[in-house]
Chain A
Protein backbone atom coordinates (compact mmCIF):
# COMPACT_ATOMS: atom_id res chain seq x y z
CA UNK A 1 0.00 0.00 0.00
CA UNK A 2 1.42 3.34 -1.07
CA UNK A 3 0.60 6.79 0.24
CA UNK A 4 0.88 5.86 3.91
CA UNK A 5 1.39 9.52 4.79
CA UNK A 6 -2.12 10.31 3.53
CA UNK A 7 -5.42 9.98 5.31
CA UNK A 8 -8.72 9.74 3.47
CA UNK A 9 -12.31 10.90 3.74
CA UNK A 10 -15.24 8.70 2.75
CA UNK A 11 -15.99 11.15 -0.04
CA UNK A 12 -12.56 10.28 -1.53
CA UNK A 13 -10.45 13.31 -0.64
CA UNK A 14 -6.94 12.80 0.71
CA UNK A 15 -5.47 14.81 3.57
CA UNK A 16 -1.82 15.37 4.47
CA UNK A 17 -0.19 17.55 7.13
CA UNK A 18 2.78 19.63 5.99
CA UNK A 19 4.44 22.70 7.53
CA UNK A 20 1.47 23.26 9.85
CA UNK A 21 -0.98 23.28 6.95
CA UNK A 22 -3.58 20.68 6.03
CA UNK A 23 -3.31 19.78 2.35
CA UNK A 24 -6.35 18.40 0.51
CA UNK A 25 -6.55 16.55 -2.82
CA UNK A 26 -8.60 13.77 -4.39
CA UNK A 27 -7.65 10.10 -4.37
CA UNK A 28 -6.66 7.90 -7.28
CA UNK A 29 -9.95 6.04 -6.81
CA UNK A 30 -11.83 9.35 -7.11
CA UNK A 31 -10.07 10.47 -10.29
CA UNK A 32 -10.62 7.04 -11.80
CA UNK A 33 -14.35 7.09 -10.99
CA UNK A 34 -14.72 10.65 -12.29
CA UNK A 35 -12.99 10.00 -15.59
CA UNK A 36 -11.14 12.73 -17.45
CA UNK A 37 -11.38 15.96 -15.47
CA UNK A 38 -12.00 18.97 -17.70
CA UNK A 39 -12.64 21.79 -15.23
CA UNK A 40 -11.97 22.57 -11.58
CA UNK A 41 -13.85 25.19 -9.59
CA UNK A 42 -11.71 26.36 -6.67
CA UNK A 43 -12.32 28.53 -3.59
CA UNK A 44 -10.29 31.68 -2.93
CA UNK A 45 -7.57 32.23 -0.38
CA UNK A 46 -9.22 33.39 2.84
CA UNK A 47 -12.47 31.46 2.26
CA UNK A 48 -13.77 29.39 5.16
CA UNK A 49 -14.21 25.67 4.50
CA UNK A 50 -16.37 23.43 6.69
CA UNK A 51 -15.80 19.73 7.32
CA UNK A 52 -18.35 17.70 5.35
CA UNK A 53 -19.36 20.59 3.10
CA UNK A 54 -18.46 21.39 -0.50
CA UNK A 55 -15.55 23.79 -1.10
CA UNK A 56 -15.48 23.52 -4.90
CA UNK A 57 -16.27 21.12 -7.68
CA UNK A 58 -14.66 19.08 -10.41
CA UNK A 59 -16.21 18.58 -13.79
CA UNK A 60 -15.44 15.48 -15.82
CA UNK A 61 -16.86 14.37 -19.14
CA UNK A 62 -19.44 12.39 -17.14
CA UNK A 63 -20.61 14.80 -14.45
CA UNK A 64 -19.92 17.64 -12.05
CA UNK A 65 -19.04 16.47 -8.54
CA UNK A 66 -18.59 18.39 -5.31
CA UNK A 67 -15.22 18.58 -3.62
CA UNK A 68 -16.00 17.95 0.05
CA UNK A 69 -13.73 19.46 2.67
CA UNK A 70 -12.45 16.97 5.25
CA UNK A 71 -11.61 19.82 7.64
CA UNK A 72 -12.95 23.11 8.98
CA UNK A 73 -10.57 26.03 8.57
CA UNK A 74 -9.38 28.87 6.35
CA UNK A 75 -8.02 28.42 2.84
CA UNK A 76 -4.33 29.46 2.92
CA UNK A 77 -3.31 28.45 -0.58
CA UNK A 78 -5.03 27.32 -3.75
CA UNK A 79 -3.38 25.27 -6.50
CA UNK A 80 -4.09 27.59 -9.40
CA UNK A 81 -2.13 25.38 -11.79
CA UNK A 82 -5.24 23.14 -11.84
CA UNK A 83 -7.28 25.88 -13.50
CA UNK A 84 -5.16 25.62 -16.64
CA UNK A 85 -4.28 21.94 -16.30
CA UNK A 86 -7.18 20.09 -14.67
CA UNK A 87 -5.83 16.86 -16.19
CA UNK A 88 -3.14 16.85 -13.45
CA UNK A 89 -5.81 15.45 -11.11
CA UNK A 90 -5.97 12.39 -13.41
CA UNK A 91 -2.29 11.96 -14.15
CA UNK A 92 -0.93 12.65 -10.66
CA UNK A 93 -3.73 12.71 -8.06
CA UNK A 94 -1.38 12.48 -5.07
CA UNK A 95 1.05 15.05 -6.40
CA UNK A 96 -1.73 17.50 -7.34
CA UNK A 97 -2.96 19.12 -4.16
CA UNK A 98 -6.08 21.29 -4.45
CA UNK A 99 -6.10 23.52 -1.36
CA UNK A 100 -3.98 24.08 1.76
CA UNK A 101 -5.97 24.93 4.89
CA UNK A 102 -4.83 26.79 8.03
CA UNK A 103 -6.44 27.38 11.44
CA UNK A 104 -8.03 23.94 11.34
CA UNK A 105 -10.60 23.64 14.13
CA UNK A 106 -12.38 20.45 13.16
CA UNK A 107 -11.55 17.33 11.17
CA UNK A 108 -13.82 14.63 9.83
CA UNK A 109 -13.36 11.05 11.01
CA UNK A 110 -10.64 10.05 8.50
CA UNK A 111 -9.48 6.64 7.30
CA UNK A 112 -5.91 5.34 7.17
CA UNK A 113 -4.53 4.36 3.78
CA UNK A 114 -5.18 0.67 4.50
CA UNK A 115 -8.71 1.27 5.79
CA UNK A 116 -9.43 3.47 2.77
CA UNK A 117 -8.29 0.74 0.40
CA UNK A 118 -10.78 -1.63 2.03
CA UNK A 119 -13.47 1.05 1.89
CA UNK A 120 -12.91 1.46 -1.87
CA UNK A 121 -13.26 -2.29 -2.37
CA UNK A 122 -16.79 -2.10 -0.98
CA UNK A 123 -17.58 1.04 -2.98
CA UNK A 124 -16.40 -0.28 -6.32
Chain B
Protein backbone atom coordinates (compact mmCIF):
# COMPACT_ATOMS: atom_id res chain seq x y z
CA UNK B 1 0.00 0.00 0.00
CA UNK B 2 1.05 3.63 -0.46
CA UNK B 3 2.45 5.79 2.30
CA UNK B 4 0.28 8.60 3.55
CA UNK B 5 2.82 10.99 2.00
CA UNK B 6 2.41 9.34 -1.39
CA UNK B 7 -1.36 9.74 -1.18
CA UNK B 8 -1.03 13.43 -0.40
CA UNK B 9 -2.40 15.93 -2.97
CA UNK B 10 -2.01 19.70 -2.57
CA UNK B 11 -5.17 21.30 -1.31
CA UNK B 12 -6.75 18.11 0.07
CA UNK B 13 -6.13 19.17 3.66
CA UNK B 14 -9.11 18.49 5.89
CA UNK B 15 -8.58 21.00 8.68
CA UNK B 16 -10.77 24.07 9.00
CA UNK B 17 -8.93 26.44 11.30
CA UNK B 18 -10.95 28.78 13.54
CA UNK B 19 -10.49 32.50 12.90
CA UNK B 20 -7.40 34.07 14.42
CA UNK B 21 -8.39 35.72 17.69
CA UNK B 22 -5.00 37.19 18.68
CA UNK B 23 -2.77 39.75 17.08
CA UNK B 24 -0.78 38.32 14.17
CA UNK B 25 3.02 38.33 14.59
CA UNK B 26 5.75 37.39 12.14
CA UNK B 27 8.62 35.19 13.31
CA UNK B 28 12.07 36.72 12.87
CA UNK B 29 13.73 35.31 9.74
CA UNK B 30 16.53 33.73 11.79
CA UNK B 31 14.15 31.22 13.38
CA UNK B 32 11.55 30.96 10.59
CA UNK B 33 11.33 27.90 8.31
CA UNK B 34 13.42 28.10 5.15
CA UNK B 35 11.34 25.53 3.28
CA UNK B 36 7.73 24.43 3.24
CA UNK B 37 6.52 22.12 6.00
CA UNK B 38 5.93 18.92 4.07
CA UNK B 39 2.98 17.42 5.87
CA UNK B 40 0.65 15.15 3.91
CA UNK B 41 -2.56 16.75 2.68
CA UNK B 42 -5.59 14.46 2.61
CA UNK B 43 -9.29 14.84 3.14
CA UNK B 44 -10.85 13.33 6.24
CA UNK B 45 -12.32 10.50 4.15
CA UNK B 46 -8.89 9.72 2.72
CA UNK B 47 -7.27 9.74 6.18
CA UNK B 48 -9.96 7.45 7.50
CA UNK B 49 -9.53 5.03 4.57
CA UNK B 50 -5.75 5.12 4.95
CA UNK B 51 -5.90 3.95 8.56
CA UNK B 52 -8.55 1.35 7.78
CA UNK B 53 -6.28 0.01 5.05
CA UNK B 54 -3.45 -0.20 7.60
CA UNK B 55 -5.73 -2.11 9.99
CA UNK B 56 -6.36 -4.71 7.29
CA UNK B 57 -2.63 -5.29 6.85
CA UNK B 58 -1.79 -6.12 10.45
CA UNK B 59 -2.48 -9.13 12.62
CA UNK B 60 -3.13 -8.77 16.33
CA UNK B 61 -4.56 -10.66 19.24
CA UNK B 62 -8.00 -9.43 18.15
CA UNK B 63 -7.60 -11.20 14.77
CA UNK B 64 -6.79 -14.71 15.96
CA UNK B 65 -4.37 -17.02 17.76
CA UNK B 66 -1.26 -15.13 18.85
CA UNK B 67 1.07 -17.42 20.84
CA UNK B 68 4.15 -15.26 21.47
CA UNK B 69 6.00 -16.93 24.32
CA UNK B 70 8.30 -15.33 26.86
CA UNK B 71 6.39 -12.12 26.46
CA UNK B 72 2.79 -12.79 27.47
CA UNK B 73 0.74 -11.28 24.64
CA UNK B 74 -2.68 -11.87 26.06
CA UNK B 75 -6.06 -10.43 25.38
CA UNK B 76 -6.79 -7.36 27.47
CA UNK B 77 -10.35 -6.96 28.68
CA UNK B 78 -12.17 -3.84 27.44
CA UNK B 79 -13.17 -2.80 30.94
CA UNK B 80 -9.53 -1.94 31.68
CA UNK B 81 -9.47 0.46 28.75
CA UNK B 82 -12.76 1.98 29.83
CA UNK B 83 -11.48 2.76 33.32
CA UNK B 84 -8.32 4.28 31.89
CA UNK B 85 -10.34 6.59 29.68
CA UNK B 86 -12.46 8.09 32.48
CA UNK B 87 -12.05 11.88 32.12
CA UNK B 88 -11.38 12.34 35.84
CA UNK B 89 -8.22 10.28 35.39
CA UNK B 90 -7.16 11.40 31.92
CA UNK B 91 -7.69 15.03 32.89
CA UNK B 92 -5.55 14.89 36.04
CA UNK B 93 -2.33 16.90 35.90
CA UNK B 94 0.82 15.58 37.57
CA UNK B 95 1.53 19.00 39.06
CA UNK B 96 -1.95 19.34 40.54
CA UNK B 97 -1.91 19.92 44.32
CA UNK B 98 -2.11 16.69 46.31
CA UNK B 99 -5.59 17.40 47.65
CA UNK B 100 -6.92 17.73 44.07
CA UNK B 101 -5.71 14.27 42.97
CA UNK B 102 -6.50 12.17 45.98
CA UNK B 103 -8.25 9.64 43.73
CA UNK B 104 -5.11 9.11 41.67
CA UNK B 105 -3.03 8.71 44.83
CA UNK B 106 -5.54 6.16 46.05
CA UNK B 107 -5.18 4.21 42.78
CA UNK B 108 -1.39 4.06 43.21
CA UNK B 109 -1.62 3.04 46.87
CA UNK B 110 -4.26 0.41 46.21
CA UNK B 111 -2.34 -1.03 43.23
CA UNK B 112 0.88 -1.08 45.28
CA UNK B 113 -0.77 -2.92 48.12
CA UNK B 114 -2.32 -5.59 45.85
CA UNK B 115 0.90 -6.09 43.87
CA UNK B 116 2.89 -6.36 47.09
CA UNK B 117 0.51 -9.12 48.14
CA UNK B 118 0.86 -10.91 44.76
CA UNK B 119 4.66 -10.64 44.68
CA UNK B 120 5.37 -11.11 48.37
CA UNK B 121 7.20 -7.79 48.60
CA UNK B 122 6.95 -4.96 51.13
CA UNK B 123 7.30 -1.81 49.01
CA UNK B 124 6.70 -0.77 45.42
CA UNK B 125 7.50 1.89 42.84
CA UNK B 126 5.66 2.54 39.60
CA UNK B 127 8.25 4.82 38.02
CA UNK B 128 9.86 2.37 35.55
CA UNK B 129 8.25 2.65 32.12
CA UNK B 130 8.53 -1.01 31.15
CA UNK B 131 10.23 -4.33 31.92
CA UNK B 132 13.86 -3.58 31.06
CA UNK B 133 13.57 -0.23 32.84
CA UNK B 134 12.22 -2.13 35.84
CA UNK B 135 15.19 -4.49 35.75
CA UNK B 136 17.53 -1.50 35.66
CA UNK B 137 15.76 0.02 38.67
CA UNK B 138 15.78 -3.30 40.54
CA UNK B 139 19.49 -3.88 40.02
CA UNK B 140 20.14 -0.28 41.10
CA UNK B 141 18.50 -1.22 44.41
CA UNK B 142 21.02 -4.05 44.76
CA UNK B 143 23.88 -1.71 43.86
CA UNK B 144 22.81 0.96 46.34
CA UNK B 145 22.50 -1.68 49.05
CA UNK B 146 26.08 -2.92 48.57
CA UNK B 147 27.45 0.60 48.12
CA UNK B 148 25.77 1.81 51.32
CA UNK B 149 27.53 -0.97 53.21
CA UNK B 150 30.85 -0.07 51.62
CA UNK B 151 30.90 -3.55 50.08
CA UNK B 152 32.57 -2.42 46.87
CA UNK B 153 34.22 -5.70 45.92
CA UNK B 154 30.85 -7.05 44.75
CA UNK B 155 31.19 -6.41 41.02
CA UNK B 156 29.47 -9.40 39.43
CA UNK B 157 25.91 -10.30 38.57
CA UNK B 158 25.17 -13.95 37.76
CA UNK B 159 22.77 -14.67 34.89
CA UNK B 160 21.82 -18.14 33.57
CA UNK B 161 22.31 -18.72 29.83
CA UNK B 162 18.55 -19.23 29.38
CA UNK B 163 17.83 -15.68 30.60
CA UNK B 164 16.06 -12.96 28.72
CA UNK B 165 18.68 -10.90 26.87
CA UNK B 166 17.68 -7.85 28.88
CA UNK B 167 19.12 -9.40 32.08
CA UNK B 168 22.81 -9.30 31.12
CA UNK B 169 22.20 -5.96 29.37
CA UNK B 170 20.72 -4.54 32.59
CA UNK B 171 23.61 -5.77 34.71
CA UNK B 172 26.09 -4.21 32.27
CA UNK B 173 24.11 -0.93 32.21
CA UNK B 174 24.40 -0.80 36.01
CA UNK B 175 28.17 -1.17 35.71
CA UNK B 176 28.38 -4.81 36.72
CA UNK B 177 30.35 -7.59 35.16
CA UNK B 178 28.05 -10.34 33.85
CA UNK B 179 28.77 -13.95 34.75
CA UNK B 180 26.90 -16.34 32.49
CA UNK B 181 26.23 -19.80 33.91
CA UNK B 182 25.21 -22.77 31.76
CA UNK B 183 21.87 -24.45 32.39
CA UNK B 184 21.60 -28.02 33.60
CA UNK B 185 20.37 -30.60 31.03
CA UNK B 186 16.83 -30.23 32.42
CA UNK B 187 16.83 -26.53 31.45
CA UNK B 188 16.99 -25.28 35.06
CA UNK B 189 19.84 -23.68 37.03
CA UNK B 190 22.89 -25.91 37.36
CA UNK B 191 23.54 -25.79 41.13
CA UNK B 192 27.21 -26.76 40.75
CA UNK B 193 27.77 -24.04 38.14
CA UNK B 194 26.04 -21.57 40.46
CA UNK B 195 28.21 -22.59 43.42
CA UNK B 196 31.35 -22.18 41.31
CA UNK B 197 30.28 -18.73 40.17
CA UNK B 198 29.40 -17.45 43.66
CA UNK B 199 31.94 -15.66 45.76
CA UNK B 200 32.86 -12.51 47.63
CA UNK B 201 32.55 -10.56 44.37
CA UNK B 202 28.92 -11.63 43.79
CA UNK B 203 26.52 -8.69 43.86
CA UNK B 204 23.49 -10.75 42.94
CA UNK B 205 21.64 -13.20 40.74
CA UNK B 206 19.01 -12.34 38.14
CA UNK B 207 16.52 -15.12 37.52
CA UNK B 208 13.22 -15.79 35.82
CA UNK B 209 11.09 -18.51 37.37
CA UNK B 210 9.43 -20.24 35.62
CA UNK B 211 12.37 -19.86 33.28
CA UNK B 212 12.36 -19.10 29.57
CA UNK B 213 11.78 -22.73 28.59
CA UNK B 214 8.60 -22.68 30.67
CA UNK B 215 9.85 -24.80 33.59
CA UNK B 216 9.53 -23.98 37.27
CA UNK B 217 12.91 -24.45 38.92
CA UNK B 218 12.38 -27.01 41.71
CA UNK B 219 15.62 -25.90 43.43
CA UNK B 220 14.57 -22.30 43.76
CA UNK B 221 14.81 -22.17 47.57
CA UNK B 222 18.29 -23.69 47.46
CA UNK B 223 19.32 -21.25 44.71
CA UNK B 224 18.30 -18.13 46.63
CA UNK B 225 19.78 -19.57 49.84
CA UNK B 226 23.16 -20.11 48.15
CA UNK B 227 23.21 -16.57 46.75
CA UNK B 228 22.32 -15.06 50.14
CA UNK B 229 24.93 -17.22 51.86
CA UNK B 230 27.55 -15.73 49.51
CA UNK B 231 26.36 -12.23 50.43
CA UNK B 232 24.53 -11.51 47.17
CA UNK B 233 20.93 -10.48 46.57
CA UNK B 234 18.34 -12.15 44.34
CA UNK B 235 16.50 -10.33 41.59
CA UNK B 236 13.29 -11.80 40.14
CA UNK B 237 12.51 -11.07 36.49
CA UNK B 238 8.72 -10.98 36.52
CA UNK B 239 8.32 -11.59 32.78
CA UNK B 240 6.76 -15.00 33.46
CA UNK B 241 4.62 -14.01 36.43
CA UNK B 242 1.51 -14.89 34.42
CA UNK B 243 2.29 -18.56 35.14
CA UNK B 244 2.28 -18.34 38.92
CA UNK B 245 0.36 -15.28 40.13
CA UNK B 246 -1.91 -16.12 43.00
CA UNK B 247 -0.11 -19.42 43.65
CA UNK B 248 3.56 -18.77 44.39
CA UNK B 249 5.20 -15.49 45.38
CA UNK B 250 8.70 -14.40 44.38
CA UNK B 251 9.10 -13.04 47.92
CA UNK B 252 8.48 -16.53 49.33
CA UNK B 253 10.98 -18.05 46.89
CA UNK B 254 13.67 -15.92 48.53
CA UNK B 255 13.88 -13.02 46.09
CA UNK B 256 14.74 -9.56 47.43
CA UNK B 257 13.39 -7.47 44.58
CA UNK B 258 11.26 -7.99 41.48
CA UNK B 259 9.85 -6.21 38.51
CA UNK B 260 6.42 -6.97 37.16
CA UNK B 261 5.36 -6.12 33.63
CA UNK B 262 1.95 -4.66 34.39
CA UNK B 263 1.40 -4.42 30.61
CA UNK B 264 1.95 -8.17 30.17
CA UNK B 265 0.49 -9.82 33.21
CA UNK B 266 -2.19 -7.36 34.26
CA UNK B 267 -3.71 -5.87 31.08
CA UNK B 268 -2.63 -3.09 28.67
CA UNK B 269 -2.05 -3.97 25.05
CA UNK B 270 1.64 -3.94 24.25
CA UNK B 271 4.12 -4.86 21.60
CA UNK B 272 3.88 -1.56 19.79
CA UNK B 273 6.52 0.11 21.89
CA UNK B 274 4.48 1.15 24.87
CA UNK B 275 3.45 2.65 27.08
CA UNK B 276 4.07 -0.03 29.66
CA UNK B 277 4.75 -0.13 33.38
CA UNK B 278 7.55 -2.10 35.01
CA UNK B 279 6.52 -1.90 38.64
CA UNK B 280 9.41 -2.74 40.97
CA UNK B 281 8.83 -4.28 44.37
CA UNK B 282 11.33 -5.00 47.10
CA UNK B 283 11.66 -6.33 50.61
CA UNK B 284 11.57 -3.82 53.48
CA UNK B 285 15.37 -3.63 53.85
CA UNK B 286 15.68 -2.23 50.30
CA UNK B 287 12.72 0.16 50.48
CA UNK B 288 14.87 3.18 51.34
CA UNK B 289 16.62 2.86 47.94
CA UNK B 290 13.43 2.96 45.84
CA UNK B 291 13.07 5.84 43.39
CA UNK B 292 10.85 8.73 44.38
CA UNK B 293 9.52 11.57 42.33
CA UNK B 294 11.20 14.83 43.28
CA UNK B 295 8.07 16.75 42.29
CA UNK B 296 5.51 14.51 43.98
CA UNK B 297 7.31 13.10 47.00
CA UNK B 298 10.12 15.55 47.63
CA UNK B 299 12.91 13.42 46.21
CA UNK B 300 14.56 10.12 47.02
CA UNK B 301 17.90 8.42 46.41
CA UNK B 302 17.21 7.87 42.71
CA UNK B 303 14.62 8.90 40.18
CA UNK B 304 14.27 6.84 37.00
CA UNK B 305 11.37 8.71 35.44
CA UNK B 306 9.21 11.76 36.00
CA UNK B 307 6.36 11.73 38.49
CA UNK B 308 4.65 8.40 39.25
CA UNK B 309 5.41 6.66 35.93
CA UNK B 310 2.75 5.61 33.42
CA UNK B 311 -0.23 6.17 35.66
CA UNK B 312 -2.94 4.94 33.30
CA UNK B 313 -1.18 1.57 32.88
CA UNK B 314 -1.19 1.17 36.66
CA UNK B 315 -4.88 2.04 36.61
CA UNK B 316 -5.54 -0.70 34.04
CA UNK B 317 -3.62 -3.19 36.18
CA UNK B 318 -5.64 -2.23 39.24
CA UNK B 319 -8.88 -2.64 37.28
CA UNK B 320 -7.74 -6.05 36.04
CA UNK B 321 -6.79 -7.28 39.51
CA UNK B 322 -10.02 -6.01 41.11
CA UNK B 323 -12.14 -7.46 38.29
CA UNK B 324 -10.60 -10.93 38.62
CA UNK B 325 -10.34 -10.77 42.37
CA UNK B 326 -8.87 -13.24 44.81
CA UNK B 327 -10.37 -16.22 42.98
CA UNK B 328 -9.83 -14.94 39.44
CA UNK B 329 -6.11 -14.13 39.63
CA UNK B 330 -5.02 -17.69 40.56
CA UNK B 331 -7.57 -19.06 38.10
CA UNK B 332 -6.01 -17.01 35.28
CA UNK B 333 -2.55 -18.48 35.92
CA UNK B 334 -4.00 -22.00 36.35
CA UNK B 335 -5.75 -21.73 33.00
CA UNK B 336 -2.62 -20.32 31.34
CA UNK B 337 -0.66 -23.35 32.57
CA UNK B 338 -3.45 -25.79 31.66
CA UNK B 339 -3.73 -24.34 28.15
CA UNK B 340 0.02 -24.58 27.59
CA UNK B 341 0.08 -28.21 28.70
CA UNK B 342 -2.98 -29.08 26.64
CA UNK B 343 -1.41 -27.55 23.52
CA UNK B 344 1.94 -29.23 24.22
CA UNK B 345 0.24 -32.63 24.49
CA UNK B 346 -1.53 -31.88 21.21
CA UNK B 347 1.56 -30.94 19.22
CA UNK B 348 4.12 -33.23 20.87
CA UNK B 349 3.74 -35.94 18.23
CA UNK B 350 3.97 -33.26 15.52
CA UNK B 351 7.15 -31.57 16.72
CA UNK B 352 9.37 -32.67 19.61
CA UNK B 353 9.16 -30.65 22.85
CA UNK B 354 12.63 -29.53 23.98
CA UNK B 355 11.75 -30.68 27.50
CA UNK B 356 9.06 -33.33 27.59
CA UNK B 357 7.55 -32.81 31.03
CA UNK B 358 4.73 -30.81 32.57
CA UNK B 359 5.38 -27.21 31.61
CA UNK B 360 4.19 -23.94 33.06
CA UNK B 361 2.59 -21.22 30.91
CA UNK B 362 4.77 -21.80 27.83
CA UNK B 363 6.79 -24.54 26.19
CA UNK B 364 9.54 -24.87 23.61
CA UNK B 365 9.59 -27.15 20.59
CA UNK B 366 12.90 -28.35 19.16
CA UNK B 367 12.72 -28.66 15.37
CA UNK B 368 16.36 -29.62 14.79
CA UNK B 369 15.49 -33.26 13.93
CA UNK B 370 12.73 -32.10 11.59
CA UNK B 371 15.17 -29.70 9.92
CA UNK B 372 17.66 -32.52 9.39
CA UNK B 373 14.96 -34.70 7.82
CA UNK B 374 13.32 -32.13 5.57
CA UNK B 375 15.62 -29.10 5.36
CA UNK B 376 12.70 -27.07 6.68
CA UNK B 377 13.75 -24.76 9.54
CA UNK B 378 11.86 -23.35 12.51
CA UNK B 379 11.72 -20.07 10.57
CA UNK B 380 10.09 -21.80 7.57
CA UNK B 381 7.51 -23.47 9.83
CA UNK B 382 6.77 -20.15 11.54
CA UNK B 383 6.20 -18.52 8.15
CA UNK B 384 4.08 -21.47 7.01
CA UNK B 385 1.75 -21.04 10.00
CA UNK B 386 0.88 -17.57 8.72
CA UNK B 387 -0.70 -19.09 5.60
CA UNK B 388 -3.10 -20.97 7.89
CA UNK B 389 -4.17 -17.71 9.50
CA UNK B 390 -2.39 -17.82 12.87
CA UNK B 391 0.44 -15.71 14.22
CA UNK B 392 3.79 -17.53 14.46
CA UNK B 393 5.22 -18.29 17.89
CA UNK B 394 8.54 -16.86 19.12
CA UNK B 395 11.44 -18.30 17.10
CA UNK B 396 15.04 -19.11 18.00
CA UNK B 397 14.59 -18.28 21.68
CA UNK B 398 15.79 -19.35 24.16
CA UNK B 399 19.22 -19.78 22.61
CA UNK B 400 19.90 -23.02 24.52
CA UNK B 401 17.44 -24.83 22.22
CA UNK B 402 18.40 -25.09 18.52
CA UNK B 403 15.61 -24.49 16.00
CA UNK B 404 13.33 -23.38 18.81
CA UNK B 405 9.68 -22.45 18.58
CA UNK B 406 8.23 -21.18 21.85
CA UNK B 407 4.49 -21.22 22.39
CA UNK B 408 2.44 -19.44 25.01
CA UNK B 409 -1.29 -19.78 24.35
CA UNK B 410 -2.33 -17.79 27.49
CA UNK B 411 -5.45 -18.23 29.59
CA UNK B 412 -7.87 -16.58 27.20
CA UNK B 413 -7.81 -19.19 24.39
CA UNK B 414 -10.57 -21.78 24.24
CA UNK B 415 -10.08 -25.54 23.93
CA UNK B 416 -11.60 -25.36 20.41
CA UNK B 417 -8.95 -22.83 19.33
CA UNK B 418 -6.17 -24.96 20.78
CA UNK B 419 -7.51 -28.02 18.90
CA UNK B 420 -7.54 -26.02 15.66
CA UNK B 421 -3.99 -24.83 16.29
CA UNK B 422 -2.82 -28.42 16.86
CA UNK B 423 -4.37 -29.36 13.52
CA UNK B 424 -2.62 -26.43 11.79
CA UNK B 425 0.75 -27.47 13.20
CA UNK B 426 0.12 -30.99 11.88
CA UNK B 427 -0.71 -29.64 8.41
CA UNK B 428 2.39 -27.43 8.28
CA UNK B 429 4.55 -30.38 9.31
CA UNK B 430 3.09 -32.45 6.47
CA UNK B 431 3.54 -29.56 4.01
CA UNK B 432 7.22 -29.46 4.92
CA UNK B 433 7.65 -33.18 4.28
CA UNK B 434 5.73 -33.08 1.00
CA UNK B 435 6.69 -29.69 -0.42
CA UNK B 436 9.65 -28.21 1.47
CA UNK B 437 10.11 -25.55 -1.20
CA UNK B 438 6.65 -24.17 -0.46
CA UNK B 439 7.66 -23.58 3.15
CA UNK B 440 11.05 -22.08 2.25
CA UNK B 441 9.16 -19.29 0.45
CA UNK B 442 6.15 -18.99 2.80
CA UNK B 443 4.02 -17.04 3.51
CA UNK B 444 2.11 -16.92 0.24
CA UNK B 445 -1.18 -15.42 1.40
CA UNK B 446 0.01 -12.13 2.88
CA UNK B 447 0.52 -8.65 1.45
CA UNK B 448 4.25 -8.93 2.13
CA UNK B 449 5.76 -12.38 1.47
CA UNK B 450 9.13 -13.41 2.86
CA UNK B 451 11.19 -10.29 3.60
CA UNK B 452 14.93 -10.61 2.93
CA UNK B 453 16.02 -10.30 6.56
CA UNK B 454 19.69 -10.58 5.71
CA UNK B 455 19.59 -7.75 3.17
CA UNK B 456 17.52 -5.70 5.61
CA UNK B 457 20.09 -6.18 8.37
CA UNK B 458 23.17 -5.70 6.16
CA UNK B 459 21.90 -2.76 4.10
CA UNK B 460 19.18 -1.08 6.09
CA UNK B 461 17.48 1.84 4.35
CA UNK B 462 16.29 3.93 7.24
CA UNK B 463 14.91 7.00 5.53
CA UNK B 464 12.81 7.72 2.50
CA UNK B 465 12.84 10.74 0.24
CA UNK B 466 9.23 11.81 0.24
Contact = CB atoms under 8 A, between A and B. Distances in A.
A39 B396 contact: no
Contact of B454 (A61, A64, A65): A61
Contact of B396 (A38, A59, A62, A87): A62
Interface string B360-372: 0000000010001
Given A61-B453, A62-B396, A63-B396, A87 B458 contact: yes
A63 B402 CA distance: 11
Nearest to A84: B458
Nearest to B458: A38
A36 interface: yes
Contacts of A61: 453-454, 457
Contacts of A93: none
Contacts of B399: 63, 65
Contacts of B368: 124
Interface in B163-178: 165
Contacts of B396: 62-63
A41 to B, nearest CB: 13
B402 A36 contact: no
A39 B458 CA distance: 8
A38 B457 contact: yes
Interface string B440-464: 0000000000000110011000000
Contacts of A59: 457
Nearest to B398: A63
Nearest to A64: B165
A33 interface: yes
Nearest to A123: B402
A67 to B, nearest CB: 14
Contacts of A63: 396-397, 399
A38 B402 contact: no
Interface in B271-320: none
Nearest to A33: B402
Contacts of B372: 124
A33 B399 CA distance: 11
A85 to B, nearest CB: 9
Given A62-B396, A63-B396, A39 B402 contact: no
Interface string B127-166: 0000000000000000000000000000000000000010
A6 to B, nearest CB: 23
Interface centre among A38, A62, A63 (most CB of B within 10 A): A62
A86 interface: yes
Nearest to A86: B458
A86 to B, nearest CB: 7
Interface of B: 165, 368, 372, 395-397, 399, 402, 453-454, 457-458
Given A38-B454, A65-B399, 12 more contacts: A33-B402, A36-B454, A36-B457, A59-B457, A61-B457, A62-B395, A62-B396, A63-B397, A63-B399, A64-B165, A86-B458, A87-B458
Shortest 9 CB-CB contacts between residues of A and residues of B: A38-B457, A36-B454, A62-B396, A61-B453, A38-B458, A63-B399, A61-B454, A63-B396, A61-B457
16 contacts: A33-B402, A36-B457, A38-B454, A38-B457, A38-B458, A39-B457, A59-B457, A61-B453, A62-B395, A62-B396, A63-B396, A63-B399, A64-B165, A65-B399, A87-B458, A124-B368
